[in-house]
Amino acid sequence: MIAGPATITAVVTFPAHYGKITTILAIILALTVNLLFMFFARNIGKLFSRFNLMNALIRITGLIVATIGVQMVFTGITNFIGTLVK
């Protein structure tokens, strides 16, 4: 339930680039970090609200997700053009 579209896409595409072992270790690490954030979410939310960091965090997260998406599109276009040239 915690996996979104970006996570599912990463799981599908990572083994081809990084291998299965690296992908599995990355998933385990991501789940562990996610679990820690869930345990401390209330405290983290209070801290971010106190210092008014929530808006900045939302915008930075959106920027990171957008750049990953753009990179995936560029990679797809590059691979597509590479198959046309061959």
| Domains of the chain, residue spans | 1-39, 52-86
pTM: 0.55
Q: How far is CA 9 from CA 12, 13, 34, 55, 80, in A?
A: 5, 6, 18, 27, 18
* pLDDT at position 64: 93
Q: How far is Cα of residue 75 from the mean position of the Cα atoms in its chain?
A: 16
> What is the pLDDT at residue 81?
94
Q: How confident is the model at residue 12 (pLDDT cuts 50, 70, 90)?
A: confident
Residue range 22-67, pLDDT digits in tens: 988 988 898 899 899 999 999 998 998 888 898 888 899 999 999 9
With residue 69 as reference, give the H or E element that holds it.
Answer: helix 54-85
End-to-end, the C-alpha distance of the chain in Å comes to 41
5 touches 13 (CB < 8 A): no
